[in-house]
Amino acid sequence: MHQAIHPSDPAHLPAARAIWDSFKDTSHFKIETLTLKMVSSQPKYDLIREVGRGSYGVVYEAVIRKTSARVAVKKIRCHAPENVELALREFWALSSIKSQHPNVIHLEECILQKDGMVQKMSHGSNSSLYLQLVETSLKGEIAFDPRSAYYLWFVMDFCDGGDMNEYLLSRKPNRKTNTSFMLQLSSALAFLHKNQIIHRDLKPDNILISQSRLDTSDLEPTLKVADFGLSKVCSASGQNPEEPVSVNKCFLSTACGTDFYMAPEVWEGHYTAKADIFALGIIIWAMLERITFIDTETKKELLGSYVKQGTEIVPVGEALLENPKMELLIPVKKKTMNGRMKQLIKEMLAANPQDRPDAFELELRLVQIAFKDSSWET
């Protein structure tokens, strides 16, 4: 099992239907061009095609009718408390961000649908529909009439280049791409942590590629950190509500994430935002050396570092939990690696989270390595 871990694993959703129209619901509905009405009078978006489906939602490519701009629309069926909790976590995280970052997926709007009734979601709303979802998440049981069809629709950036796994593993290793991706990811993480958001499920599958703005072959694609269903927004402390809490002092106890990217302290259930640093360390190490493993469920080849124990491969975090003094062999495939890069990866993967750099130090050090060491990868 190399899937995301959370209290309950929601089942895959059936394929979506066109809402606010007369289509009948079916688990294998062939999508032509569907109309998604966000207001009662005029349709705002047209759903073009299904582009993906995850553990708790279906994603479509869509266009804004007024501008013809492409967007992604993710439909989440709120039929189980687990789905509701994941959807609300994503909404709370993305709606809490007051500014945009080029490497973090942007939430244009979120629409709540109950049967034929729709309304725009807003954080802290006192609408009965929104409060029923919050109550469902808090109590762990459905707080509304189960005969009603509740859906959340997230309108976000459309990324046309797949995910980081697909992009890198379909191309030869490239130093320029590696450098660009490291800088983009560290910038995104510093931005999230500055906004008191701990992602908790950083992995190549959750990092999307946008190629639409590439005008020349010299430019690298834009990465966008996505999938905030397991994220946590750290609230202000009770002593001084006006003062933002440090994500590195915000302790969490729910063991969640995807095992090959989970820090040792996450397995124990007592961790901070430094767990995101560990996950990014796994991603960067795997990217630089093209270390992959095969997911036992999907049989897909995935980027991710690990430790070999006999014939078995073990997640680095799990191995460090068993033996915190274990020395990681970096590089494991290459003959050599730039000394400063090697040292930084080792610090990111330190068994003790206090020995890891925070996101702001990490961003600075990666910039220094990228621009001061012209041959950092050798």
Of 157, 201, 259, 276, the active-site residue reads: 201
Burial environment of residue 140 by CB neighbours within 10 A (0 to 12, 13 to 18, 19 or more): middle
Show the tokens assigned to 144.
């509304």
Amino acid at 240: N
**Cα–Cα separations (whole angstroms), residue 46 to 31, 155, 226, 346:** 11, 12, 22, 47
Ligand-binding site membership of 172 (annotated): no
Distance CA 365, CA 346 (A): 13
Contacts of 267 (CB under 8 A, 6+ apart): 255, 317, 318, 321
Beta bridge partners of 53: 58
Burial environment of residue 12 by CB neighbours within 10 A (0 to 12, 13 to 18, 19 or more): exposed
With beta carbons less than 8 A apart as the criterion, state whether 41 and 335 touch: no
Distance CA 364, CA 197 (A): 20
Distance CA 46, CA 68 (A): 9
**Cα–Cα separations (whole angstroms), residue 36 to 118, 156, 157, 340:** 11, 14, 17, 51
Q: Is residue 352 within a helix (H) or strand (E), and if so which, with residue range?
A: none
Closest CA to 318 of 363, 251, 269, 267: 267
Q: At what angle do helices 175-194 and 359-372 cross, to 10 degrees?
A: 160
The verdict on whether 201 is a catalytic residue reads yes
Which residue positions form the known binding site for ATP?
A: 75
Q: Which amino acids are annotated as binding site, given as ranges?
A: 75
Q: Which active-site residues does the annotation give?
A: 201
